Each structure stands twice: as structure tokens, then as C-alpha cells.
Amino acid sequence: MADITCPHCGTVFQVEESDYAELIRQVRDEELRRQVEERTQAIRAQAQAEADASLAKAHERIARLEAEVDKKRDAAELARATTTAELNERMTEKDVRIAQLEQDLFAQRASQEVDQKVALLASEAKIRELEQQVANLTSSFDAEKRLAVTTATAEAEKQLVALNGELKSASLERENAVSQVQQKMEEALKYRDQTIRDRDDEIERLRDQRVRLSTKMVGESLEQHCETEFNKWRATAFRDVDFHKDTDNVEGTKGDYVYMEKDESGMEILSIMFEMKNEEDGSVRRKRNVDHLSKLDKDRRNKGCEYAVLVSLLEPESDLYNQGIVDVSYEFEKMYVIRPQFFIPMITILRNAALNAGGRAGSLPRCVGRTSTSRTSRRRSMTSRPGSPTTTASRARSSRLPSTRSTRPSTTCRRSRRISSRPTGSSALQTRRQMRSPYVGSRTRTPP
């Protein structure tokens, strides 16, 4: 409770705290409103005074500007009057000059008219004379023209008859030529259509044959291809070599073929484990070459072979494997991935390297070595360019050749430099074609 005393009658009231606060707020708001009104009036009075002062200054400036404008208007009127007087004077002078020039022109025109009349009379006389000459010449020209037309018409008729004969003969020749060309075109079209039909039939036959082949049959066809290529050279270059299909299953796995060569004393010269991998063109689950390297290394170690070679048609679009011979010794020791057309050349490289390393080059026949001097010189020219990718890759490959044998001279594995070059241009196209049809090609039948 709070006590409030009335300022007029002195009566004391008791009110609640909330009511008391409301009364205090009302008194405070009233006082604030009164102060705001006083301040607003003061500001309005000050603004009115400033506006009046600005208005007085504006009126004063307007009066000053009007005076200046009046002075400038008087000066402009004076200048206009002066200019008008000068222009009138000049116009008068020009009128006098124009009148004088008109008189001179009239006199000159009169003189020219007389001269023109005299010249006109002379011209008319000259024209009459020329007209008479023209009439004489026209009569003689008409006679000569009639004679020339008659002569030219006779000659033209003779030429027209000759040309008509030539035109008929040319038309006959053209018709004969057109008929011959049409006949040749029809024959060529028939031959082309027949060729296309034959090729389509062949493609359809091969496609059907490919579809009938199972995955196992596709792989066995590559194995048969490699075995056939080896047997072609067995009698001449691999007479005492044991090349057989690996049938010994060790730890649940085996390779495809084993190459084993020994000297007369029974010491091993070279041993290679071969794995052949192929797949159908329409196969959904595509595999890579690296997926088979671990198994190949395991088979090589189980059979005690020194080298491991994966003969693969996988990844046909890979530029790395399409170069022919790829050294993967950075993952598995003494391992290579090759295309089928490099099957025999790969054996030749490893065999010659082993013969050179063991000092047996004179005791055993070299692998299809010096059969052609021109071919050898051509291969030397292929690898004689310093800094070429072929030379660099071959040197790196020869440096990784078997380390278990005795030290080798710096001239070993020269055939690796000659054969492992990556094909370019038309050779690359031929290599890809051989990859798509790996069992038909000239590369595998050419001595390495």
C-alpha cells in the first residue's frame, strides 16, 4: 500500500502498488509530453526564423540578378541595333554590285548570241555536206553488205552441214560410252553386292562359331595355336627341347605348358612356365592380365621353372600390352606378358640370353638365328636409334634377365632390343588385327 495526498484538498489516499505505479507512469508521461511539445514549438520557431532569413536572402539575390539581366538586355539591344545598321549598309552595297553584274552579263549574252548564230549557220552547212557523203557511202555499203552476206551464208551452210555430221557421230560415240560405263557400273555393283553378301555370310558363320565355343574351348584354341607354332620350329630350332602340356596338379593348380631345355650333360639351360589366357569378345566379366600373374608365379615355383610367361589376348585395347612384350619383373621375378605373335620370339630371346650367359653359344644351335642377313640388319636399324623407347625398354629388360646364372657380357639379349619394339602406324594396325584373329598372321611364322 502507498499513501497519496491530493494537492488541492489535502486528502490522503491509500492505493495498491500497481495502481501507484500506473499513476506515476501517467504523471511521468504527461510531463514528458509537455516537454516534447515545448521542444517541438521551439524547433518550429527556429526553423521558421531560418526559413524567413533564407527567403529574404533569396529575394535579395533575385533582385540583384534581375538588375544584371536588365543591364545585359540593354547591352544586347544596343548590339543588335548596331549589327542591324551594319547589315543594312552591306545589303545596299551588294544590291549595287548585283545591278552592275547584271548589266555586264546582259552585254556578254548579246555578244554570245551573235557568235552562236554565226557558228550555227556554219554548222548547218557542214551538216548538209556530211549528210550527202553519208548517203553516198550508204548506197555503196549496202551493195557490199549484200555481197558479203551472200558469201558468208553459203560458207555457213556448208559448215553447218559438216557440224551436223560431226554432232551425230559424237552423239553415237557418247551413247556407246555411256552404255559401256553403265554396264561396267552394273557389273561392279553386282560384284560389290556379292562380296558384301559373302563377307556377311563369313562374319555370321564366324560369329555363330564363336558363340558355340565355350570359355574352355576359347582358351584351348589359344593353347593349340601356341603348340602348333612351336611345333613348326621344333625340328629346326628346338630339336632337343622338352615342350609339353603341364598335367601335374600341385596344390590344386597347374600351368598350361612347360618349356625345358638341357645340355648334353643334363644341366638345365632354360625352363619356362607358360600360361595362355583368352576370352570371348562378348564376355561380361572381363579379366585383366594382372589377375593371373600371382597364379602363374605360384605354378612356376611349384614346377621349378626359371621364367614365367603369360601369353594373353586379354585387354585388347591396352597400349601397354599391345607393344608385344611387357616385362612385369617389378611385381614377379623373371615374368613377362606377351601377345601370341611374340610366342616364338620370346622363347628365342630367353634361350639366346641363357646360351650367351652360360658360354654355350658354340655347343648348341642358336634359335632361328642367322637365317636372313637383310632381316638382321633391318632389326639392327630398328634399335640403333639412341634414346628411342625400344632401346631404353630393351636395356631395362635385359638388365632384369635371370640373375641366378653367371655374369653376362654387355652384348646379351640383343634380340630383345630388336623384337620388343612397340609397333607403330600400319604395324600397330596389323598387330591389333592379329590380336582379334590371333591364329592367322605372318608375324608368328617369321623367324625371330
Give residue-wise pLDDT tens across range 185-242: 999 999 999 999 998 888 877 666 555 444 444 456 788 889 999 999 988 888 889 9
Asked if pLDDT for residue 378 goes beyond 60, the answer is no
The answer to whether the CB of 237 falls within 8 A of the CB of 365 is yes
Does 141 fall in a domain? no
Within a domain: 131: no
Domain around 406: 215-445
Say what the pLDDT of residue 438 is: 40
Per the domain annotation, does 181 fall within a domain? no
Closest CA to 412 of 320, 336, 350: 350
Is the domain of 388 the same as that of 243? yes
Separation CA 401–CA 355 (nearest Å): 13
Give the count of domains, the chain: 2
In-domain check, residue 34: yes
Q: Please tell me the predicted confidence (pLDDT) of residue 220.
A: 63
Q: Count H helices and E strands in the chain, helices first.
A: 8, 8
Query: In whole angstroms, what is the distance from residue 7 CA to residue 5 CA?
Result: 6
Q: Domain boundary at 70, 89, 108, which? A: 89
- Does 165 fall in a domain? no
Q: What is the pLDDT of residue 2?
A: 67
Mark which of 73, 89, 105 sits at the end of a domain: 89
Domain boundary among 61, 89, 117: 89
Which of 303, 210, 176 has the alpha carbon at shortest distance from 248? Answer: 303
Question: Same domain, yes or no, for 85 and 220?
Answer: no
pLDDT in the model for residue 59:
87
pLDDT tens digit string along 335-354? 999 999 999 999 999 999 99
Q: Is residue 134 part of a domain?
A: no
CB atoms closer than 10 angstroms to residue 432: 14
pTM of the complete model beyond 0.85: no
Q: How far, in Å, are 54, 60, 161, 226 from residue 65 at the CA level?
A: 16, 9, 107, 117
- Residue 142 within any structural domain of the chain: no
Query: Does residue 187 fall inside a structural domain?
Result: no
